[in-house]
Chain A
Amino acid sequence: MANAYWCIVEDDRKGAPKKVMSEVLGEAGRLAGGTVEAVWLTDKATDDGIKQLGAWGASKVWVLENAAFAPYIGEVWVPALAELVAKESPKAIFAPVTSRMREFVARLAARLGAGLSADSVGFAMEGDALVATRPVYAGKVLAKMTWAKTPWIATMRPNVFKPAEASVAKSAQVEKPSVKIPTPRMKLVERREEVSTGLPELTEAETVISGGRGMKGPENYVILEKMAAVIGAAVGASRAAVDAGWRPHRFQIGQTGRTISPKLYLGFGVSGAIQHLAGMRTSKVIVAVNKDPEAPIFKIADYGIVGDLFEVVPALTDEFKKLLEK
């Protein structure tokens, strides 16, 4: 439907929309005051997935299902979706920030000759215009952005927006448009899966535990993983720890790593360099444990303990256990 607000679906590659879609659909719903629709490009759409999107507020799910949509390839996805955009003229196109969505939405915006606000952390309607807020200059400043015309295209930082309450009473109409599927020039050779940590994904986790140079060595991350298992957190690291080879790069938090925005960030032996803050300063609650009372991380921390992390971490883990096992 013309003027609809579209949310591009990020999924787990097995037919289920990711949890972050509840945030994207929730925010789109608040802004739209009208129709919110989900658009799902996938090689495998499931009925449960469609139901889930409906429960989160999509009145319609456009299902573009084709083997060619996996893995994501810009040359395939962009023309396919652009064809649907040309037919349906949505007013806004939103997606969560993930590595592939970053590229896809940027390429799509170029195809459509439209503006893109990437990694947005807030939206407001001012009259008839959408205004997006996004952090710039390593998160030191917030920029308010406006578009010259619709469609307004934006990606949303995970964990920032209030998720839609799932309601099983709501269901989505399903539309399966046929679009041309181009043949890509690039070809997948292989996909190397990462060994699963059994913990939540860093960028999506509601709680993140981060270990810095103060961890002293790779073997000591076990104590953070133990705490993570108790509170359901992801474990990340500072660049100093990554550069020392203690953790793989995908766990790095900060300007040259991942941007996270969890409900709770706990930093152990992290000094709080500006480049680290760039990747986590929008966390809702920040806890820092550091033996140096002058460490800059205490300037942005909500709660701090000045002390030796090797004493604090096990004691804190026990305390969390007591609380959560009650």
Chain B
Amino acid sequence: MKIVVAVKQVPDTATQVKISGADPKAIDTAGITWIVSPYDEFAIEEALRIKEKRGQGEVVAVSLGPDRVKEALRSALAMGCDRAIHLNDPAWANADTLATAQALAAVIKQEQPALVLCGRQAIDDDMGAVGAQLAEVLDWPCASWIMDEAVDADAKTVRVGRQVEGGLEVFDIPLPAVLSAQKGLNEPRYPTLKGIMGAKKKEIKDVKPGDLGLTPGAPQLMVKKLEALPARPPGRIIQGEVKDAVKELVRALREDAKAI
């Protein structure tokens, strides 16, 4: 069984993000630590577990982005993915979620996996859209925010638990299908030293729009500009004995903040 995992490289949440002085539509990438988006690690882990459980199969990591993205693909390979595909072209520089989904779908049509795994959302743009849009472009069924999954013995269907408000909905989905991983699905492994060494020998194939028969057009959604967060008004530490402090807090919440 072949599985494709869509992997996005994002800035580590802990790094400071500054808006670029030269381009108000972009962030200053100097000094940023890049990581694999955390939800995509759940997706990679789940793909590897499916392969391991079945004792055979192939896991292919796919990412769209500039040269630096190779590092994220290397991490995916170090975790255990078999090979990687890098959609790398300036024509995709302003890709919105739909253009990204179209590009990923074109690769998936060539690869013909039984299953595609994505993260619930990428933690840079926080759109949570690409997985569902990929399914639409491919005309495949999909389930978002999955908490568990089990592929049946002959790899014809997958049973998934989808998290919704107020409960969990369990579905049987015929393959091929797209699933997006929610936290709680698994605990991603750390790459072993052997994995990291082995990753250097694994293939990362560069793909251009032409290889997919695509000409990326203008995006449907554009960043007009980025703005720094408006500063919150300075806060107030309420001093004093607990019984006085809580009295003052409740008074302030009611009378000043009108929050209660």
Task: Say how far B187's CB is from chain A's closest CB, in angstroms.
Answer: 10
Task: Given A139-B229, A193-B167, A285-B259, decide whether A144 and B224 contact each other with a Cβ distance below 8 A.
Answer: yes
Decide yes or no whether A166 CB sits under 8 A from chain B: no
Q: Mark A248-286, 1 if CB is under 8 A from B, else 0.
A: 011010011100000110000000001100100100111
User: What string of 1s and 0s marks CB contacts (under 8 Å) between B16-40 and chain A?
Assistant: 1101000000010000000000110
Stretch of A25-33, A38-46, A56-64, A146-154 lying at the B interface: A146-154
Select one of A98, A102, A145 contacting B224, CB under 8 A.
A145
Interface centre among B14, B163, B242, B243, by most A CB within 10 Å? B242
SS class of chain B's interface: helix, strand, loop or mixed? mixed
- With A278-B13, A319-B246 in contact, is A145–B223 under 8 Å at CB? yes
Contact A185 B238 (CB under 8 A): no
B235 touching A304, Cβ below 8 Å: yes
Contacting pair B253 A264 (CB below 8 A): yes
A99 contacts B226, C-beta separation under 8 Å? no
Interface of A is mostly: mixed
Option from A137, A207, A252 in Cβ contact (under 8 Å) with B183: A252
CB-CB under 8 A for A319 and B145, given A141-B19, A304-B238, A305-B238: no
Task: Determine if A142 is an interface residue (Cβ-Cβ < 8 Å).
Answer: yes
Q: Quick one: which of A72-130 are within 8 Å of B by CB?
A: 72-75, 78, 98-100, 102-104, 106-107, 109-111, 113-119
Q: Interface stretch among B65-73, B75-83, B198-206, B214-222?
A: B214-222
Q: A189-B159, A307-B242 given as contacts; is B167 within 8 A of A110 (CB)? A: no
Taking a contact as CB atoms under 8 Å apart, the answer to whether B253 and A137 are in contact is: no
**B236-A323 in contact (CB<8A):** no
Q: Which of B136, B137, B232 has the most CB of A within 10 A?
A: B136
Question: Could you tell me if B246 and A146 are in contact, using CB atoms closer than 8 angstroms?
Answer: no
> Which residues of chain A have C-beta atoms less than 8 A from B237's C-beta?
293, 298, 304-306
Of B45-53, B54-62, B94-102, B108-116, the one contacting chain A is: B94-102
B130: which A residues are within 8 A, CB to CB?
Answer: 106
- Supposing A192-B167, A285-B257, A307-B242 touch, asked if A110 and B98 sit within 8 A by C-beta, the answer is yes
* Interface set, chain B 209-260, CB cutoff 8 A to A: 218-229, 232-233, 235-238, 242-243, 245-247, 249-250, 252-254, 257, 259-260
Please choose the segment from B1-9, B85-93, B121-129 that sits at the chain A interface, where 4 or more of its residues have CB less than 8 A away. B121-129
Binding site for A on B (CB under 8 A): 11, 13-14, 16-17, 19, 27, 38-39, 96-98, 101, 123-133, 135-137, 141-145, 147, 159, 161, 163-174, 177, 183-184, 218-229, 232-233, 235-238, 242-243, 245-247, 249-250, 252-254, 257, 259-260
A-B contact pairs, 21 of them (CB 8 A): A74-B141, A106-B132, A107-B135, A109-B98, A110-B98, A114-B220, A115-B220, A116-B221, A136-B126, A147-B221, A147-B222, A185-B174, A187-B172, A188-B171, A192-B168, A192-B169, A192-B170, A194-B168, A264-B253, A281-B229, A307-B245
